[in-house]
Chains A and B, each alone.
Chain A
Amino acid sequence: MPNNSKRITSLDVLLLAAISGGLIWFAYHIVTQLNYSWDWSAAPGYIARFDKSSQQWKAGLLLQGLIVTLRLSIWSVFSALIIGTIMGIWRTSPRPLLRMISGSYVGLIRNIPPLVLIFIFYFFLGDQIMRATGITELSYSLNDKTSPVLNVLFGSVEQLPAFLSGVITMSLFEGAYITEIIRAGIESIEEEQWEASAALGFNRRNQLIHIILPQAFSRCLPPLAGQFISTIKDSSIVSIISIQELTFAGQELMSATYKTFEIWTVVIFLYFALTFPCSIAVRALEKKMNKQKNL
């Protein structure tokens, strides 16, 4: 039986003192030992600033990067979920061919370092796909003003081919992890559920749609949420193929201003601002689902 009373014990005080002591020592070390002249004056401007000539607020360079990160993460999460669900169902399929396809997909993707995968895809496969689907041609014929909708959904047209190959690699990569999460969810559903639904005359497809997947998804939610948050952070890896997301924007800014630590700090803060609300939302969702279960 866990102790739920909210009393402050001496151990708590000691722990708090130790942690804050550590933090202060760390801060002191940074300020004194590091040969670095801190200059925070320009930092707010990296997020947003008021443009006097046009009399309106404008997004700073890092906020622009954050928006690209957000776009990238949403598309990647969305398509990784689709890939993961299909592959997860195939992983548990009675057909050996489907099991083999999804098994080799997971085995292949999960065992390649993401950095290598992204390079291979970007330099060798990405181009072929973009050319074959006509997206490269499309990106020439459009410009930012012709399609505001496309601009909101995918960012600037100039970046479209690179952005899409980033999204595809990210979703392939994250999809492999989601596959295993979904598989675990499906396999955790009791045999009786399958038998009972079979007895009701459902075929396998309907069994999955109506009985198994809804239960499996609710069990998968915590690891899935973790995977989504990690997707947001992992998206920083596509900065190596020069997609202008938050990390890339930060590095660009650093090579222009040399304010390394200030910019990294703002970048950390922005990533946190993106992922922390996700954590809270997931916790709320889980609470709601647990309540429904208990009813």
Chain B
Amino acid sequence: MTLWRTVNIGIAAVIMIVGLSSAVWAGDARLELSKDSTLETVLKHKTLRVGFSTFKPWAMKDKDGQFIGFEIDVAKRLASEMGVEVRFIPTKWDGIIPALLTGKFDIIIGGMGITPQRNLKVNFSDPYEFTGMAIVANKAVAPDKSSLKEFNMASTKVSVRLGTTAEKAAKNFLPKADIRKFSDEAASIQELLNGKVACLIASNPLPANLVKKYPEKLYLPLQSDFTQEPIGFAVRKGDPDFLNFLNNWIKVTNAQGWLEARFNYWFKTDDWKSLVE
């Protein structure tokens, strides 16, 4: 019987210890949460790791191999105001969310449009910029069209970049069309130029730039963007501290007019063209 009692007391003691310590853990939950915040990790390592994908003029490499672009400016300013170094980690667009989730970098600053599906996997900051979808068509394959309706036919082939909001926009606005997906922007453009597809859906300023470059082959069927999409920073879920910092940074920077000035420089002017080509 002594053995039985010893075992019983032992089990009771273990249960009590576990119970008590879990109560202590619960009390520390808030502390733990803020300690685990990406914000703390970034400050501790003095490095902000930024994931992005090459996407002209959001982010690209110049002739020397340095990263330039709107998002690069945003990331640099964000890091400098946090007092940390910035580390750029170029990543393929179709793998960028898994790379964020598995901790290859701390934040996606890459012109990522906020969508409910993406939001199920990551947290988004408030939008710091807006972009619109536009359509650019091949003159030989799909001549003289001026509305989305005219492209919404089973016989119309549409090219988009895989995993972008353009893919979603194509599905929503042209449900009947035959949508071709490409993992690289350049491939989707080449299909359009070769006349294998009738049109390309992409966020501006790409369609406008393409028409400027190939005026005899391409044209813009619509005069204005057909969507208005919010762009936000993407971070891992369950990190209110980091999100709070980012949202307020956006408010402050927006109020200073800095974001708009940079956006105009990269999207409305050609002053930076000589850096790339």
A contact residues vs B (CB 8 Å cutoff) = 34-37, 42, 45, 49, 51, 58-61, 64, 123-124, 127, 140, 143, 158, 162, 239-242, 244, 248, 251-258, 260
Instruction: Give CA–CA (A67, B187) in the complex, Å.
Output: 25
Flag if A255 contacts B56 (CB, 8 Å).
yes
Instruction: Give CA–CA (A36, B47) in the complex, Å.
Output: 43
Q: Is B104 an interface residue (CB 8 A)?
A: yes
Tell which of B103, B184, B194 touches A255, judged by Cβ atoms closer than 8 Å. B184
Instruction: Give CA–CA (A51, B64) in the complex, Å.
Output: 9
Flag if B186 contacts A37 (CB, 8 Å).
no
- Specify which chain B residues have a CB less than 8 angstroms from the CB of A58 in the assembled complex: 64
Given A36-B190, A254-B186, A255-B184, does the pair A45, B63 have CB atoms closer than 8 Å?
Answer: yes
Q: Is B154 an interface residue (CB 8 A)?
A: no
Q: Is B231 an interface residue (CB 8 A)?
A: no
Instruction: Give CA–CA (A158, B90) in the complex, Å.
Output: 11
- Specify which chain A residues have a CB less than 8 angstroms from the CB of B45 in the assembled complex: 140
Residues 202 to 249 of chain B near chain A (Cβ within 8 Å) = 213-214, 217
Chain A to chain B contacts (Cβ below 8 Å), 29 pairs? A34-B194, A36-B194, A45-B63, A51-B64, A61-B61, A127-B102, A127-B103, A127-B104, A158-B88, A162-B104, A240-B95, A241-B95, A242-B90, A251-B186, A252-B54, A252-B61, A253-B61, A254-B185, A255-B53, A255-B56, A256-B56, A256-B60, A257-B276, A257-B277, A258-B186, A258-B189, A258-B213, A260-B187, A260-B189
Given A252-B54, A254-B184, A255-B60, does the pair A61, B65 have CB atoms closer than 8 Å?
Answer: yes
In the assembled complex, the CB of B104 is this many whole angstroms from the nearest CB of chain A, namely: 7
Instruction: Give CA–CA (A248, B91) in the complex, Å.
Output: 10
Instruction: Give CA–CA (A34, B60) in the complex, Å.
Output: 27
Query: Interface extent on B, as a size class?
Result: 35 or more
Given A35-B193, A35-B194, does the pair A242, B63 have CB atoms closer than 8 Å?
Answer: no
Residues 51 to 97 of chain B near chain A (Cβ within 8 Å) = 53-56, 60-61, 63-65, 85, 87-92, 95
Kindly report which residue of chain A lies nearest to residue B276, judged by CB atoms: A256
- Specify which chain A residues have a CB less than 8 angstroms from the CB of B55 in the assembled complex: 255
- Specify which chain B residues have a CB less than 8 angstroms from the CB of A255 in the assembled complex: 53-56, 60, 184-186
In the assembled complex, the CB of A235 is this many whole angstroms from the nearest CB of chain B, namely: 16
Q: Is B169 an interface residue (CB 8 A)?
A: no
Instruction: Give CA–CA (A158, B277) in the complex, Å.
Output: 26
Flag if A140 contacts B186 (CB, 8 Å).
no
- Specify which chain B residues have a CB less than 8 angstroms from the CB of A253 in the assembled complex: 61
Flag if B102 contacts A251 (CB, 8 Å).
no
- Specify which chain B residues have a CB less than 8 angstroms from the CB of A251 in the assembled complex: 54, 184, 186
Given A252-B90, A255-B55, does the pair A64, B65 have CB atoms closer than 8 Å?
Answer: yes
Kindly report which residue of chain A lies nearest to residue B53, judged by CB atoms: A255
- Residue of A127, A239, A252 with most chain B CB atoms under a 10 A cut-off: A252
Kindly report which residue of chain A lies nearest to residue B47, judged by CB atoms: A140
Kindly report which residue of chain B lies nearest to residue A159, judged by CB atoms: B89
Q: Is B177 an interface residue (CB 8 A)?
A: no
Instruction: Give CA–CA (A51, B62) in the complex, Å.
Output: 13
Q: Is B98 an interface residue (CB 8 A)?
A: yes
Q: Mark B181-204, 1 if CB is under 8 A from A, else 0.
A: 000111101100111000000000
Given A36-B193, A42-B277, does the pair A123, B102 have CB atoms closer than 8 Å?
Answer: yes
Instruction: Give CA–CA (A239, B65) in the complex, Å.
Output: 17
Residues 234 to 267 of chain B near chain A (Cβ within 8 Å) = none
Q: Is B122 an interface residue (CB 8 A)?
A: no
